[in-house]
Amino acid sequence: MSVNKLISIKNPIINAIDLAGLDHNKHLPLFMTWAYEAEKEIGSYYQYERKWAILDICNGLAELPDNCIKVEGAILGSHSENVGSIFSKVFSNPIVQLSQSTSNTFLIVDSASSETTTGAGIIPYGYQNNKIIFEVNPKQGKVTIEFIGYAVDCDGFMKVGENHIEAITSHILYKHFLRQKDMKMVQWYYNQWDRLCAHSRALDSQLTETEREEIARLWHDPYSGRGLFVGMNINNTYGRFSY
């Protein structure tokens, strides 16, 4: 079973540079681009983190963070303290949930300081070119978002699953030898990349220990698990008595 430990994407880049016998400083920027391409091709839900950010609104536009994958919610205004609890409180409101389910045109206008009251309103908006685009220019100059994004290290480089290292290294070397027109090595590393990419996805899809325990608990729960299923389907009576 895979424990999806995240490490910096610089690790497979350094591996590829060392295997090719190249200069680190000269080839790092290009190899970094190829490494990002490989990681996006592999794809892994486990490398995402829930984050919050305060964005500036300029002419009805708010630039999203570069590592943003999906915006889960937005509250107009700047909210830096207890931001997680604010989103949890606001978006658990049934009115907010209803508005979210019907269209993509709901933003909380503001979150009041009181624990019991929250001001809310409808502002049409959409996403384009990594920006939030408001159809009307809000009076507030800030918007706080909750989003899912790539995990990054202390230098701002993407973090990747430890089980992706060999696949990313092979992809980088495949691109490097393609650039060198060495077709024999291109074919070798392309085959390695193709195999290791699929293997990385397979490891990512394995259940974690927490997920296994949750499935086992549900399976053995007498009110929802195997016992209930057997009781309802014995003799095709679905738990009813025959007279």
Give tens-digit pLDDT for 218-238: 878 777 777 666 666 666 555
What gap in Å lies between CA 126 and CA 147, rounded to an integer? 15
What residue segments make up the domains of the chain, in order of their start?
A: 47-150
Give the pLDDT of residue 109: 58
Give the pLDDT of residue 125: 80
**Per-residue pLDDT tens listing for the chain (243 residues):** 445 688 899 999 999 999 988 888 888 889 999 998 998 888 876 678 888 899 999 988 999 988 888 888 888 888 877 777 777 777 776 556 655 555 555 566 555 555 554 555 667 788 888 898 888 887 778 888 889 888 888 888 888 888 899 999 999 999 999 999 999 999 999 999 999 999 988 888 777 778 788 888 887 877 777 766 666 666 655 545 444
Give the pLDDT of residue 80: 77
What gap in Å lies between CA 239 and CA 14, rounded to an integer? 62
Q: Which residue has the tokens 């973090």?
A: 159
Give the pLDDT of residue 122: 65
Give the pLDDT of residue 243: 46
Say whether pTM exceeds 0.75. Answer: no
Cβ neighbours around 46 below 10 Å, total: 17
Alpha helix (H) residue ranges in the chain = 10-20, 24-42, 83-91, 94-102, 165-180, 183-205, 209-219, 226-233
What gap in Å lies between CA 194 and CA 175, rounded to an integer? 13
